[in-house]
Structure formats: C-alpha cells, structure tokens
C-alpha cells in the first residue's frame, strides 16, 4: 500500500504550481471588459496578479497612480474616451478608467490576441496565477519541479509517514530548482538577443581586391616609358 494516496499528491502538485506562478509571475493572459456608459470602475478576475497593459479600441492606456489622479484631476467626472487607467487604491482587483467612458463596448469573445478583438474591445493583459489545467508550467519542466514540492509537503505531514529530514532535503531542492527556473525566465524574457554580428569572431578574412578580366588588363610597360 502506498504511503501517500494519489489525491494528496495531486493536491500538493497543484499547490506548488500555484505558488511558483505567484512568486515569479510568468503566465500571461487577457481579459475583455464590458464597458458601459458612465461606469469608471471594473472588476478583474481573482487570478489576476499584475497588469501588463490595457487597450481601449486598439489604443493603449497609460497607467495612472490613484494619488496623481486625485492631485491632478481632483476627482473629475468628465466623460470621454479614456486615456488612463488607475490601478491602485480603487478596490480589490479593480481598475478605474479615466476619463469616464462615454460609449458602450461589449466584451469580446474568442481570440483576444487577434487584431479584430484589440480594435473592437477593451482588453486587459496581465500576469495570472496557474489554474493547473490550461495555464501551467511548461511540460518539459513541470514534473521535475513540482515533484520536489510534493515530496516536501508530503513528508512534512504529521503521521506515520512524517520524515522531517527528508522534508527539509526536498524543500532545499525545491528552492534551488525554483531559483533556476526564475533565472531561466529572466534569460528568456530580459536578456537581449544578438541579432547582428558586429565583428569577426575567429577569422581574419576579407574579400580580395577586384580583378579585371584577362582581356582587359592592357599592355604592361616599365616605369618611365
């Protein structure tokens, strides 16, 4: 009989994936808002971690801190096409569009990355936490990462299977692998790519001087003739 049942290990597996996706956001998703006339506040799903960009009918909106909105616009209520979105101190997982929208824009369905969706809707792009189904760690890395977290949690549970030394061993391995995964993401996302070679790496070879065809060399004469 196995020490740990499959449902317990699956729960730990999913818990580890959610933890790493929240500590080092890397999963990108989009959400379409249902814009109504005169309504500035809109609530985002609970799984939203941080906003990357907001577009309104294809136009990018600039982020505006709540404090700047109060000091500069002094609680203005004018209606127009929004130019900014307020992302903090407006409510839990809420954003505020300013100026207040003056038209109706239904939420867009289907592919939110397509040109038509961007030009005809209000799209919020954000980092999200994992749902353990569609938005997950890449399959090539997922098992080797999350099995360490599962082992750490399983051996830490009180009962006959508890083993503190093994739990501490696996948590150290988990932290190490998680750090390596984070460094890989930084390399893929932030390190500049070298698309142009600006020098010769190993060879000192240059094209030769152009040479005329043999029948166009002319007649050779000595110097002074």
Task: Report the pLDDT value the prediction gives residue 225, as an integer from 0 to 100.
Answer: 53
Encoded tokens for 148? 């360490």
Res 28 pLDDT > 80: yes
Residue 44: φ, ψ to 5°: -95, 160
The string of pLDDT tens digits covering residues 147-174 is: 999 999 988 888 887 889 999 999 999 9
Res 208 pLDDT > 80: no
Res 83 pLDDT > 80: yes
- Note the pTM of the prediction, 2 decimals: 0.77
Distance CA 104, CA 31 (A): 17
Res 196 pLDDT > 70: no
Q: Are 59 and 35 in contact (CB under 8 A)?
A: no
């Amino acid at each position: 009989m196995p020490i740990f049942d499959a449902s317990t290990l699956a729960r730990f597996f999913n818990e580890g994936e959610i933890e790493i996706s929240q500590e080092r956001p890397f999963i990108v998703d989009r959400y379409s808002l249902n814009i109504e006339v005169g309504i500035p506040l809109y609530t985002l799903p609970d799984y939203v971690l941080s906003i990357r960009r907001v577009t309104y009918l294809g136009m990018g909106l600039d982020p505006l801190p709540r404090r700047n909105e109060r000091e500069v616009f002094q609680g203005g209520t004018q209606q127009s096409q929004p130019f900014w979105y307020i992302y903090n101190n407006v409510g839990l997982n809420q954003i505020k569009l300013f100026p207040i929208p003056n038209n109706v824009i239904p939420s867009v369905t289907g592919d939110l990355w397509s040109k038509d969706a961007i030009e005809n809707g209000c799209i919020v792009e954000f980092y999200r936490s994992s749902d353990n189904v569609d938005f997950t760690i890449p399959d090539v890395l997922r098992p080797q990462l999350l099995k360490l977290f599962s082992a750490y949690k399983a051996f830490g549970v009180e009962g006959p299977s508890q083993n503190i030394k093994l739990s501490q061993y696996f948590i150290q391995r988990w932290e190490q692998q998680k750090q390596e995964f984070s460094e890989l993401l930084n390399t893929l996302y932030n390190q500049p790519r070298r698309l142009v070679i600006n020098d010769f790496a190993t060879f000192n070879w240059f094209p030769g001087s152009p040479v005329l065809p043999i029948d166009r060399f002319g007649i050779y004469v000595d110097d002074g003739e």
